Amino acid sequence: MNNFILIGFDRSGTSAISRTLAAHPQVELIFRPFNSGPIRQKMYQLLNDERVSAEDISFFKDLQNEVLDSSYFVSHWHQKFSSVQDSFRPGQLHVIITNINHFSARWVHNNFPKIEQWAIWRHPEQILNSCIKNEFYGEWYSDALSQVIESVKEDAELSDLFENYIDEVLAGNYTIKTAFLIAVRNYFLFKNIDAGKIVDYDIFKSDPNKALKPVLEHFKLSQDFDFSEFLNVDLNSIPSVDGYEANKKGVNVITPEEMEIARKMFGPLLQLYNEKSR
């Protein structure tokens, strides 16, 4: 394969990791193409054969055959940040970065097993803190929370792990609701990612060469390129409210009471990550 999908949650380093990786001379970037397409419209639902359209199937079938059908999406993110617009360039590895495909990972894995899917790991407590600090919430709850709750009830494993939190989440504030979304969506993603196919943001922010080495090795790319210089460049597509600085430790905005609840919800995800990253 000359392409793979790299999936990460908001504020997990998706922009920095993908744009740094795309600096490699053998890599090109397709940046968030799904953010304004058919998958975006059902991103909080568990994708399955009943929910997909002929358009969805056609796109992923082409992708498995190493063809990019750019008519499938209309994304200003793609137009602004991608190094490839309409079709793959031969001889390059193409990384398709996305922050919305968590609930499509199982369907893609089962129906198009040749399509590589990788995940970005950032500790969920850090994601939560960054989301709240940067106000990545609010508009999510016009439809997201209710749909994610239905997805939890629909899936036996998600129900066993997370349904008992629903009443507490519905009564909780934005922090508790955001923690629930992080826990559920990331658990489902990592459950459907093959072991070892992980890029660790917690490593990347201090040693990008080490963090990206699994990608280079897996796809047999040259490891002579030095990614470390890009630590000094702000590659976030949406700047952080407190600015960028390499290895900067952000201010904690989560109260101890909120974090206690969040940690309970994050427990299954942390255990799963430990299994997948061995």
Sequence-separated (6 or more) residues with CB below 8 Å from residue 90: 2
Sign of CA dihedral 143, 145, 148, 149: negative
- Please give the CATH architecture assigned to the domain spanning 3-276: 3-Layer(aba) Sandwich (3.40)
pLDDT digits (tens, 9 = 90+) for 202-215: 999 999 999 999 99
pLDDT score at 231 = 86
- Three-state DSSP at 3 gives strand
pLDDT score at 34 = 93
Q: Residue 216's pLDDT band (boundaries 50, 70, 90)?
A: very high
* pLDDT of 143 strictly over 80: no
pTM above 0.85, yes or no: yes
Percent of the chain with pLDDT over 90: 81
Mean pLDDT (whole number) for 146-158: 97
pLDDT score at 232 = 84
Half-sphere exposure of 13 (CA within 13 A, CB side): 25
* pLDDT of 142 strictly over 80: no
pLDDT score at 111 = 97
Mean pLDDT (whole number) for 247-251: 71
pLDDT score at 237 = 74
Give the span between the Cα atoms of 149 and 164, in whole angstroms: 11
pLDDT score at 233 = 83
Give the span between the Cα atoms of 214 and 234, in whole angstroms: 23
Give the span between the Cα atoms of 223 and 211, in whole angstroms: 12
* pLDDT of 146 strictly over 80: yes
Give the span between the Cα atoms of 28 and 22, in whole angstroms: 5
Give the span between the Cα atoms of 129 and 69, in whole angstroms: 36
* pLDDT of 247 strictly over 80: no
Give the span between the Cα atoms of 20 and 156, in whole angstroms: 38
pLDDT digits (tens, 9 = 90+) for 19-46: 999 999 999 999 999 988 899 999 999 9
Distances, alpha carbon 224 to alpha carbons 65, 146, 213, 228, in Å: 29, 47, 11, 12
Mean pLDDT (whole number) for 157-168: 98
Percent of the chain with pLDDT over 70: 96
Give the span between the Cα atoms of 211 and 217, in whole angstroms: 11
Query: Among all chains, which residue has been given the structure tokens 């129900």?
Result: 159
Q: Residue 248's pLDDT band (boundaries 50, 70, 90)?
A: low
* pLDDT of 265 strictly over 80: yes
DSSP secondary structure string, 91-109?
TSEEEEEESS-GGGHHHHH
Domain boundaries, the chain: 3-276
Half-sphere exposure of 31 (CA within 13 A, CB side): 22
Give the span between the Cα atoms of 153 and 149, in whole angstroms: 6
